[in-house]
Amino acid sequence: MKVDKHLFRALAQFWNPAYNCFTLGKVDLVPTVEEYMALLRCAKIQVDKVYSRAVNPPTILKKLMNITWMSEQWVTTRIKQKGDNKCISWRNLKDVVLTHPDTKKRVDAFALSIYGLVIFPKALVHVDEVVTDLFDRLDKGVTPVPAILAETFRSLNVCRKSGEGRFIRCAQLLLVWFHSHFWKVDKVSYRVFSKNYSPLNEVVATPKRDDISMEKWMAILQSLQEEDVEW
C-alpha cells in the first residue's frame, strides 16, 4: 500500500510528544490497542498476552531455524551483522518463500518479511533479530499490537521533535487508522469495525488522490471538528 508522504508530514506536525496524541483542530486522537487489534484482526485470546523481549532470548540462529525449518548450516551462512544487530536479508527469505516444500513455512517466511520490512523496518531490505524474536512468539498467542504502537509513537516523536526526518515505523497501519476515522476528509463513510469488515481491505481497494500537498493537508487537519470524525 502506497504511503502518502505529504499526509504523514502534515500529521507529524500535529503530534504532541508530551501527551502522545494528535491534536487536530478541536479533536484529540490517538491510535489505541483496541483499534489496532481490530485492524489486524487479532484473535481475542491475544489481548492479554503482550510481547516483551526476554533478558536472554534464543539466538537469531535458533529462531530462524524454528521459523523456516531450514538447516543450521543454511541459516548460519546467511546471518549478517548490520550495526548492533544480526539480521537476514529479504533475498534469502524470498528463496524460502519461493522454494520451501512446506506451504506453512513459505507463508511464515513471507509474514516475517512483512514484519521486518514494512512494520518494523530497520536495516534496508533486511529483517533483524529483534523482529525474529517477536515473530517467533506470535504462535504462542502473543499480540504484536503494543510493540507496533510503541514503534509508531517513537517514530512520530522523533519526527516532531527534530522537525524533519522520514516516518518509517508502521506507516501503512497508521494510514489505515487515519482513513478509518476521518471519513469526511475523503468524503467516504467508513463502517464501524466488525468481524465481517476489514478496514485494511477497504482502504487498499478505495482509490485515493495522491496529489494533495502537505500545506493542503495541514489546512484540512487544522479545521477538523468533532463531527468530522467517525468514532
How do residues 181-196 score in pLDDT, each as one tens digit? Answer: 765 444 444 444 455 6
pTM: 0.74
Task: Name the DSSP class of 123.
Answer: S
| pLDDT one-digit tens code per residue, 67-87 | 999 999 999 999 999 888 899
Q: What is the pLDDT of residue 167?
A: 55
Closest CA to 14 of 2, 1, 36, 30: 30
216 contacts 64 by C-beta, under 8 angstroms: no
Q: What is the pLDDT of residue 104?
A: 93
Helices vs. strands in the chain: H and E counts, helices first = 12, 6
What is the spatial distance between Cα 121 and Cα 16, in angstroms, rounded to a whole number?
23
What is the spatial distance between Cα 231 and Cα 223, in angstroms, rounded to a whole number?
18
- List residues bridging with 85 in a β-sheet: 82
Closest CA to 183 of 201, 199, 171: 199
Every domain of the chain and the residues it spans: 5-46+160-228, 60-136
- Which residues of the chain have a pLDDT value below 70? 1-2, 43-48, 52, 54-55, 162-169, 182-209, 230-231
Task: Name the DSSP class of 143.
Answer: B
Closest CA to 126 of 168, 97, 176, 92: 92
